[in-house]
Amino acid sequence: MESSVEESGIDLGQDTITSSLQYKEPPHGGQEEVHLLETFEDSSSPSVPLTDSANVEESIGVREVIWHGEMVTLYPSDIKSSRMVLIQVIFCMCMFLVFGMNDQSTGSLAPTLIADYDTSIAQLSNIFLVAMAGYTLASFLNDKIHRAIGSRGAMFLSTSMCIVFYGIMASKPSNIYVYIFCMLPLGLSLGLLDSTSNVLIGSLRNHSSELMGILHGVYGAAAMVTPPLVDKFVQSGKWEHFFLIPTSLSIVGLLLIIPSFKYETAAKYDYICATAHHDEDDIVSDGDIVIPKSKELHFFDLMKNPAILLYSIYLFLYLGAEVGTGSWMFTYLLATKSDNKTKMSYVTSSYWSGLTFGRFVLGFVTKRAFKNVYRATYTYGLLTVVFYTLFAALGLINSDSTLYLFFLSLNIFLAGVFIGPLFPNASIVFLQVLPKNLHIAGMGASVAVGGCGGALLPYLIGNITHWIGIFLFPLLCWILVVTFSIIWDLYPRFIKDKEEFL
């Protein structure tokens, strides 16, 4: 029985698109019947201005459907034709600045926190363990949160938590335990932001590879400037004021959500998951199509998919190596090379400089020099192993001469160059080999597992170096790099029927 008929007219000037959608109640309560017709009429009359405040995002390619009694607005994932998508991309860039500062802040502040709070490296390492708990929550709650409040609500929740808890850190917590606790909600919020941003950028119709590289390059740039920035705040005696920067960026991000994510509702998330296996052209032209309501995707069910499992393990090890290298590099250099904090902060920044350079530049090289993104990533991974091996070898030399520090910085820079594009490239390959209905849930679970690696493994590195010796730091990082490179080599063996991408 037909219960409602909705019509929407979109004025394009010379052509008018009229969409008529009929929503039919499911015959057995478990399926939704969608009927969508589009007609094109030539209009010689003057254009009638749209009453919609956003002009239906410039009209091009926008359409509306009713899904389980709620209106869902669909538009192309194209920054050229949709201002809304462009603002979403800007939002992602803004929050990845926060992400980069967050991941490097602990390592840069470690000596100061140990002195101010009279604590040890082992106790400070609990920061990573608590952050891991936040990422673990994100891995289990990502799909549930999106189904309950949509991407709009998930992003609003995440940025709000960033504002609150970075604000607390900017007020200088009274003890180290409050500081450490803040990492739990921040881990949850950054886990949600990370997965949603990767899916959004990776699913763009145009320039997804280049923009993914830029997105992660922004992360690297933020991490790169963090050590010298922190050093300036430490020298002023107000290290806590550093956290006013991510607080301010989070406020900007919150304001960007209002115009850019207004259509990203829970109903739209469910619609995308449910219709992912149906061609949109078929839905428009065939008339009545019966589509079941999408089922909630549980974490352990997702891990049964080889692509999701391999990507999760890869990110777990990769982020452990990347964040572990950046977090403990400063402490390692101070303990083994020189006690000049300013000089060592710049050597540490060479790693993040290389990572940023690699993500910005190699994103454009990948498309032009390699058969596909997987092959490019395989090559970059091998070069990463080479420069981490050299880093471990150079670390055995006990010197603080200018020449030695120059070559050490150059090697660290090149290690950063080639490890940099691995995460964005792996995300693109992941989206290429995974069904669309699993994109957000699969990416959310995998990135959250990766975030756990980015928290747990630096924690273990901190504890191992505390009990055995900081001199082991380069070797531990090398082991992680070699291991995730082996995981990448397993992709073609376990992911079938995707030869064009592998």
What is the DSSP secondary structure assignment for residue 75, as one 8-state letter?
-
CA distance 118 to 246: 26
Q: Are residues 25 and 150 in the same domain?
A: no
Share of the chain above pLDDT 90, in %: 38
In 117-125, alpha helices (H): 121-124
pLDDT score at 330: 87
Q: What is the reported pLDDT for 295? A: 59
Query: Hey, what amino acid is at 223?
Result: A
- As a whole-number percent, the residues of the chain with pLDDT over 70 amount to 83
CA distance 219 to 213: 10
Q: How many CB atoms lie within 10 A of CB 335?
A: 18
Q: What is the pTM of this model?
A: 0.73
Answer whether residue 272 shows pLDDT above 50.
Answer: yes
pLDDT for the residue 277: 55
SS3 state at 481: helix
pLDDT of residue 60: 54
Local confidence band at 62 (pLDDT 50, 70, 90 cut-offs): confident
Q: Is the domain of 269 the same as that of 320? A: no
24: DSSP letter: E
> Which comes out higher in pLDDT, residue 135 or 12?
135
Residue 281 pLDDT > 50: no
Task: Report the 10 Å Cβ neighbour count for 314.
Answer: 29
Picking from 264, 90, 102, the residue whose alpha carbon sits closest to that of residue 190 is 102
**Using 50, 70 and 90 to split pLDDT, how confident is the model at 129?**
confident
**Which of the listed residues 252, 275, 292 is the one where a domain comes to its end?**
292
Last residue of a domain, one of 254, 277, 292: 292
| pLDDT band at residue 474 using 50, 70 and 90 as cut-offs | very high
Residues 110 and 194 in one domain: yes
* Domain match, 325 and 251 both: yes
- 354 token code pair: 């290389």
Q: Give me the residues paired with residue 21 across strands.
A: 6, 36
Please indicate, yes or no, whether residues 14 and 119 belong to a single structural domain of this protein. Answer: no
* Same domain for 45 and 184: no
Beta-carbon contacts of 405 under 8 Å, excluding residues fewer than 6 positions away, are 337, 338, 343, 347
pLDDT for 294 beyond 80:
no
432 in the same domain as 360:
yes
The arithmetic mean of pLDDT across residues 310-334, rounded, is: 92
Q: How far apart are the first and last CA of the chain?
A: 48
- In the predicted model, is pLDDT for residue 48 greater than 70? no
Q: pLDDT digit string (tens) for 195-240? A: 888 888 888 888 877 888 889 889 888 988 898 899 899 999 999 9
At residue 454, the pLDDT reads 83
Q: How far is CA 478 from the centre of its chain?
A: 24
| Tokens encoding 201 | 């950028």
Confidence of residue 112 (pLDDT cuts 50, 70, 90): very high
**pLDDT of 390 higher than 90:** yes
- Structure confidence at residue 128 (pLDDT): 83
pLDDT the model gives residue 400: 83
- What pLDDT is recorded for position 348? 87
pLDDT for position 177: 93
Q: Where are the alpha helices (DSSP H) in 171-265?
A: 176-181, 183-202, 208-235, 244-260
Give residue 107's pLDDT band: very low, low, confident or very high (50, 70, 90): confident
Pair (103, 153) in one structural domain: yes
Q: What is the mean pLDDT of the chain?
A: 81
Q: What is the structure's pLDDT at 490?
A: 92
Q: How many domains does the chain have?
A: 2
Q: Are residues 189 and 113 in the same domain?
A: yes
Show the CA angle centred on residue 81, arms to residues 76 and 85, nearest 5°.
60
Mean pLDDT across 152-179: 95
Closest CA to 198 of 31, 432, 14: 432
Domain that holds residue 405: 83-263+296-501
Cβ–Cβ under 8 Å, residues 78 and 204: yes
Over residues 433-471, the pLDDT tens digits come to 988 778 877 887 888 788 888 888 988 998 898 888 888
The CATH code of the domain that includes 101 is: 1.20.1250.20
Question: Domain boundary at 277, 292, 307, which?
Answer: 292
**In this structure, are 406 and 430 located in the same domain?**
yes
Closest CA to 129 of 167, 162, 177: 177
Co-location of 180 and 215 in the same domain: yes
What is the pLDDT at residue 297?
64
pLDDT at 261: 92
Of the two residues 19 and 80, the one the predictor is more confident about is: 80
The predicted pLDDT at position 167 comes to: 96
Q: What is the pLDDT of residue 392?
A: 94
Report which of 470, 483, 347, 480 is spatially closest to residue 406, judged by C-alpha positions.
347
Same domain, 233 and 349: yes
User: What is the arithmetic mean of pLDDT over 362-377?
Assistant: 87
- Given pLDDT bands bounded at 50, 70 and 90, which one contains residue 30? very low
